[in-house]
């Protein structure tokens, strides 16, 4: 243990050592003080917390006189009279409520339905639709209870609470209630309906929490991020519920401001610079920044804002890739980060902070990445950890639905293309202030953008294929995770897929963090992702709930995107000394081909798992399967191996289970493809997505080349209802000179010769479609059937000649390069025009039979 501690210390910078030492001394002193005198709240202390501005002097005077109700009245007066410095303010109540009721006629009834459950003591949290936290008095929640596992966290000094120990219960469940985000639900209902029950419940809950959580005691002081979330909720609550004095029986504003300042000071002293320097640090900094800018009555507000601003700015370059993706490699935590910078940008605009351009630059990048990662419905795939939480769950939207965040981002940075459909109600709350609301109105006046194109987030490691029909695929081909990879999964080269807006291949999500270690490790394993498992091993091996003993690093070798198709070739090192490589061809709206190679010698057991959304039914016949869902059908076929539907088993979660949201584990359909044998081993999987051209059979065909000409290769024939498709891959070696300027060796498959790394050819009565990557020639044995010759290698080429009879035009993008091409079809030279954007247009009188 001493050696391990010394090794950890040797890796720390001088700044980290000083910071940790200071924190340790401070917390030891606080702990000693807590032993001498039981911690409690002292209302009189608020006098020293308030600033020196004249408008707060009447409240300070009342506090020194211990006239708590008068102090509350003076605070409320000054707050209501002050300029609005947050997203909402008491003075905006009538305008916002009227606007929302007009734009969203069902908003009031929806708000009542959500808020009434809270008033009745039932909470919809994470994956649990109806939790009760009944306290001893039968009125207020038990703020230390995990009702799912019926366990309570001990009321100790905060740094000694073992919140990761299952004996404390699931800390996520306890903390989710203690975020107090249900106060936003109550505030929304109060403003839209005027029902005083919602305000009374909210004030009672804050008072109850303060009474049950004295300073620095218990689990609810143990996570600085959770204090940050709660602080933000209380700022919303103050603006929802403060009003002209005279009608409040209790001085709740005195208590809330005092407890709020104490929590902010606790965050400041224990920022997660070295504990969790990821979204934890961002959320903590956000709370300091927003509180500092929007609560000027606090003496420390300037310092809080400065610290929060500095951290938020520093972390833009540390936690965000140049592509805009968050480096934790979790789509859920990417959404958190986007929402953090959205709120920071809103408050910065409202309060006139010159930092606005920097924050909004982060919003633009994060928003673009989120728009790529979201499908046509605005839903994010559950890549990496999904803790089920949100920054602003005011309307009960599901956590993977990012339409509100995208609408807000599009308005703030003037990017209407980020928006999906009309702006949801949440955007009206976040962008309600006069400093930002005109931006929302201007954005709403522009129609939502059409489907966006395929693109890559190479720094983050995501490659996104999209089609105009609504198909959406995300492939994970990047680094394992950020820092310790705490929220990453063993999902190298896994992919998710929606077809025409319907989820098909899913990431099974996150079942648990700490309460069930088996579930935690199972849901992070490679077998629970749409990727390859070799010899029953997981690519990455966990060590505790948020660390890893071994990690796989993936990298993309080739990424081509084209109006007709997208292609990715990538590999990872998780099974070293074996190598695993995945090739993915997405022929838009038509076909998905996934070719997996395991190489490195010896005989091995290989499995490829495909996890399906629960709405799909599976019928297996031989090496084919039919997938059906509410009018949709997809054909599934493989080139080799055995296909089986993985049953959920005996109740132990594994393959055949998924967690749609944290804490809820349900059965779903999963297909397992299994094969054993010597390497190199190729397994080619085909998904037929065109209902008018059914996939009937996938069978391997030989790849021919001169001895030593290829590093590797595979080819399959895909027999379909109305065509025969050929798909081939090869890694041709350069000519013997070794010069990159020399052409590579050609290779053959089923009567065609090419030098491309990937080729796809469809024939019916004639050749009707061709796709090629990194090649210059494709020709049939009878060149009258097909002959394509380019003067040099093209990164990608797509020809689609499947048009009706009469004059035709087939568009082909030749890798962004402009040069001429020679194309023959049926023995006829086809006129070729090369345009400035390297669009090659091939005109043919009609398809010619072979």
Give residue-wise pLDDT tens across range 99-138. 999 999 999 999 999 999 999 999 999 989 999 999 887 7
- Provide the greatest CA pair distance for the chain: 101
Predicted confidence band at 233 (pLDDT cuts at 50, 70, 90)?
Answer: very high
Residue 41 confidence (pLDDT) above 90? yes
Tokens 């993915």 belong to residue: 584
| Per-residue pLDDT at 239 | 98
pLDDT tens readout for residues 812-845: 445 444 445 556 555 555 555 433 333 344 433 3
* CA–CA gap between residue 456 and residue 325 (Å, rounded): 10
pLDDT tens readout for residues 460-479: 999 999 998 899 999 999 99
- Between the CA atoms of 385, 389, 391 and 397, what dihedral angle is there, to the nearest 10 degrees? 110
Eight-state DSSP code of residue 289:
H
Structure tokens at 364: 């633009």
How many CA atoms lie less than 13 Å away from 267 in the CB half-sphere? 35
The separation between CA 616 and the C-alpha centre of its own chain, rounded to angstroms, equals 23
Eight-state DSSP code of residue 50:
B
Residue 528 confidence (pLDDT) above 80? yes
How many CA atoms lie less than 13 Å away from 375 in the CB half-sphere? 24
pLDDT tens readout for residues 282-324: 999 999 999 999 999 999 999 999 999 999 999 999 999 999 9
Predicted confidence band at 492 (pLDDT cuts at 50, 70, 90)?
Answer: very high
CATH number assigned to the domain with residue range 272-450, chosen from the 4 options 1.50.10.100, 3.40.50.970, 1.20.120.1730, 3.10.20.30: 1.50.10.100
Average pLDDT over residues 2-23: 66
Bond before 680 cis per omega within 30 degrees: yes
Assess contact for 312 and 286: CB atoms under 8 A: yes
* CA–CA gap between residue 373 and residue 324 (Å, rounded): 11
Structure tokens at 33: 């003080």
- Between the CA atoms of 661, 665, 666 and 668, what dihedral angle is there, to the nearest 10 degrees? 80
Assess contact for 604 and 676: CB atoms under 8 A: yes
* DSSP states along 739-793: -TTSPBPPEEETTEEE--SEEEEEESSSEEEEEEEEEEEEEESSTTTEEEEEEEE
Q: Where are the alpha helices (DSSP H) in 505-585?
A: 517-524
* CA–CA gap between residue 381 and residue 236 (Å, rounded): 30
Average pLDDT over residues 365-386: 95
Lowest mean pLDDT among 74-88, 704-718, 735-749: 735-749
Which among 487, 510, 515, 486 has a CA at the least distance from the CA of 171? 515
Average pLDDT over residues 602-606: 96
* CA–CA gap between residue 260 and residue 87 (Å, rounded): 18
* CA–CA gap between residue 632 and residue 689 (Å, rounded): 9
Structure tokens at 712: 């590797």
Which among 766, 832, 753, 752 has a CA at the least distance from the CA of 802? 766
How many CA atoms lie less than 13 Å away from 844 in the CB half-sphere? 28
| Per-residue pLDDT at 834 | 39
pLDDT tens readout for residues 776-820: 899 888 766 788 888 788 899 888 876 533 333 444 445 444 445
* CA–CA gap between residue 533 and residue 525 (Å, rounded): 10
Q: Quick check: helix, strand or coil at residue 138? A: coil
* CA–CA gap between residue 225 and residue 244 (Å, rounded): 32
Average pLDDT over residues 342-360: 98
Average pLDDT over residues 386-391: 92
* DSSP states along 624-645: EEEEEETTEEEEEEESSSEEEE
pLDDT tens readout for residues 614-672: 999 999 999 999 999 988 999 999 999 999 998 765 567 889 999 999 989 999 999 99
Rg (CA), the chain: 30
* CA–CA gap between residue 272 and residue 190 (Å, rounded): 35
| Per-residue pLDDT at 515 | 86
Eight-state DSSP code of residue 418:
G
Assess contact for 758 and 567: CB atoms under 8 A: yes
Which among 191, 260, 274 has a CA at the least distance from the CA of 230? 260
**What mean pLDDT is reported for the chain?**
89
CATH number assigned to the domain with residue range 455-696, chosen from the 4 options 3.40.50.300, 2.40.50.100, 3.50.50.60, 2.70.98.70: 2.70.98.70
Eight-state DSSP code of residue 222:
S
Tokens 């009189």 belong to residue: 44
Predicted confidence band at 18 (pLDDT cuts at 50, 70, 90)?
Answer: confident
H/E segment holding residue 206? helix 196-212
Assess contact for 684 and 727: CB atoms under 8 A: yes
* CA–CA gap between residue 10 and residue 549 (Å, rounded): 20
C-alpha separations of 418 from 321, 367, 423, 458, 562 in Å: 19, 7, 11, 20, 21
* CA–CA gap between residue 345 and residue 312 (Å, rounded): 11
Q: Quick check: helix, strand or coil at residue 509? A: strand
* CA–CA gap between residue 411 and residue 235 (Å, rounded): 23
* CA–CA gap between residue 795 and residue 813 (Å, rounded): 9
* CA–CA gap between residue 741 and residue 734 (Å, rounded): 9
* CA–CA gap between residue 209 and residue 228 (Å, rounded): 15
* CA–CA gap between residue 139 and residue 340 (Å, rounded): 33
| Per-residue pLDDT at 762 | 93
Greatest mean pLDDT among 349-363, 380-394, 450-464 lies in: 349-363
H/E segment holding residue 607? strand 603-611
pLDDT tens readout for residues 414-445: 998 999 989 999 999 999 999 999 999 999 88
Tokens 């006129």 belong to residue: 831
C-alpha separations of 3 from 7, 10, 434, 547 in Å: 6, 10, 59, 20
* CA–CA gap between residue 132 and residue 620 (Å, rounded): 43
| Per-residue pLDDT at 735 | 54
* CA–CA gap between residue 668 and residue 741 (Å, rounded): 51
* CA–CA gap between residue 586 and residue 464 (Å, rounded): 10
Please give the backbone phi and psi of residue 379, each rounded to the nearest 5 degrees, phi first.
Answer: -105, 135
């Amino acid at each position: 243990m001493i050696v391990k501690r010394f090794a950890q210390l040797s890796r720390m910078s001088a700044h980290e050592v000083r910071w940790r030492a200071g924190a340790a001394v401070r917390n030891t002193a606080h702990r000693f003080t807590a032993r001498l005198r039981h911690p409690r709240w002292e209302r009189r202390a608020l006098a020293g917390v308030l600033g020196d501005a004249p408008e707060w002097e009447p409240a300070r005077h009342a506090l020194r006189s211990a006239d708590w109700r008068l102090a509350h009245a003076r605070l409320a007066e000054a707050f209501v009279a002050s300029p609005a410095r947050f997203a909402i303010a008491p003075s905006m109540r009538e305008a916002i409520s009227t606007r929302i009721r007009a734009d969203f006629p069902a908003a009031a009834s929806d708000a009542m339905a959500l808020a009434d459950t809270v008033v009745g003591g039932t909470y919809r949290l994470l994956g649990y639709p109806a939790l009760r936290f009944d306290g001893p008095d039968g009125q207020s929640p038990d703020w230390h209870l995990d009702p799912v596992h019926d366990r309570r966290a001990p009321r100790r000094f905060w740094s000694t609470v073992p919140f990761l120990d299952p004996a404390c219960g699931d800390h996520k469940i306890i903390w989710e209630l203690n975020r107090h985000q249900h106060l936003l639900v109550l505030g929304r209902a109060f403003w839209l309906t005027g029902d005083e029950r919602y305000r009374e419940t909210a004030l009672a809950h804050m008072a109850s929490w303060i009474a049950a959580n004295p300073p620095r005691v218990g689990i609810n002081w143990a996570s600085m991020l959770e204090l940050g979330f709660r602080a933000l909720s209380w700022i919303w609550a103050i603006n929802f519920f403060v009003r002209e004095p005279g009608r409040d029986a209790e001085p709740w504003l005195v208590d809330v401001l005092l407890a709020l300042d104490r929590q902010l000071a606790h965050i400041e002293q224990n920022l997660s610079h070295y504990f969790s320097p990821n979204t934890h640090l961002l959320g903590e900094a956000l709370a300091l920044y927003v509180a500092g800018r929007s609560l000027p009555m606090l003496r420390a507000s300037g310092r809080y804002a400065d610290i929060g601003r500095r951290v938020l700015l520093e972390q833009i370059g540390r936690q965000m890739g140049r592509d805009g993706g968050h480096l934790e490699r979790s789509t859920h935590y990417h959404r958190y980060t986007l929402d953090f910078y959205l709120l920071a940008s809103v408050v910065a605009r409202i309060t006139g902070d010159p930092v606005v351009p920097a924050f909004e630059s982060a919003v633009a990048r994060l928003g673009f990445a989120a728009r790529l990662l979201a499908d046509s419905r605005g839903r994010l795939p559950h890549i990496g950890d999904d803790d089920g939480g949100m920054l602003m769950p005011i309307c009960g939207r599901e956590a993977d639905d990012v339409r509100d965040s995208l609408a807000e981002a599009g308005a703030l940075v003037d990017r209407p293309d980020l928006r999906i459909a009309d702006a949801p109600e949440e955007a009206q709350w976040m962008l309600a202030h006069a400093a930002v609301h005109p931006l929302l109105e201007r954005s709403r006046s522009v129609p939502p953008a059409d489907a966006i194109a395929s693109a890559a987030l190479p720094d983050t490691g995501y490659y996104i294929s999209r089609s105009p029909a609504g198909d959406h695929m995300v492939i994970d081909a990047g680094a394992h995770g950020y820092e310790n990879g705490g929220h990453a999964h063993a999902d190298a080269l896994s992919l998710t897929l929606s077809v025409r807006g319907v989820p098909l291949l899913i990431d099974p999500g996150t079942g648990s963090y700490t309460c069930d270690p088996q579930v935690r490790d199972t849901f992070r394993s490679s077998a629970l992702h749409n990727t390859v498992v070799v010899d029953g091993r997981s690519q990455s091996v966990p060590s505790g709930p948020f660390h890893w003993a071994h990690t796989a690093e993936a990298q993309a070798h080739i990424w081509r995107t084209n109006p007709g198709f997208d292609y990715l070739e990538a590999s990872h090192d998780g099974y070293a000394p074996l190598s695993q490589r995945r090739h993915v061809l997405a022929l838009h709206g038509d076909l998905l081909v996934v070719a997996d190679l395991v190489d490195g010698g010896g005989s091995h057991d290989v499995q490829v798992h495909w996890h399906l959304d629960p709405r799909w039914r599976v019928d297996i016949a031989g090496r084919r399967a039919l997938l059906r869902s509410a009018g949709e059908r997809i054909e599934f076929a493989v080139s080799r191996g055995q296909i089986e539907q993985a049953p959920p088993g005996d109740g132990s979660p594994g393959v055949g289970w998924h967690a749609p949201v944290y804490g809820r584990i349900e059965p779903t359909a999963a297909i397992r493809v299994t094969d054993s044998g010597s390497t190199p081993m190729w397994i080619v999987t085909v998904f037929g997505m065109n209902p008018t051209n059914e996939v009937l059979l996938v069978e391997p065909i030989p790849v021919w080349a001169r001895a030593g000409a290829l590093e590797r290769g595979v080819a399959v024939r895909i027999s379909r209802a109305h065509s025969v498709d050929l798909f081939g891959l090869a890694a041709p070696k350069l000519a013997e000179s070794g010069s990159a300027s020399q052409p590579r060796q050609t290779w053959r498959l089923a009567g065609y010769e090419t030098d491309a790394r990937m080729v796809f050819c469809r024939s019916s009565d004639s050749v009707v479609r061709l796709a090629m990557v990194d090649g210059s020639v494709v020709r049939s044995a009878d060149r009258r059937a097909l002959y394509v010759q380019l003067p040099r290698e093209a990164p990608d080429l797509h020809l689609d000649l499947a048009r009706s009879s009469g004059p035709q035009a087939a568009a082909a993008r030749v890798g962004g390069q402009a040069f001429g091409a020679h194309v023959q079809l049926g023995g006829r030279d086809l006129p070729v025009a090369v345009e400035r954007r390297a669009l090659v247009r091939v005109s043919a009188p009609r398809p010619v039979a072979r």
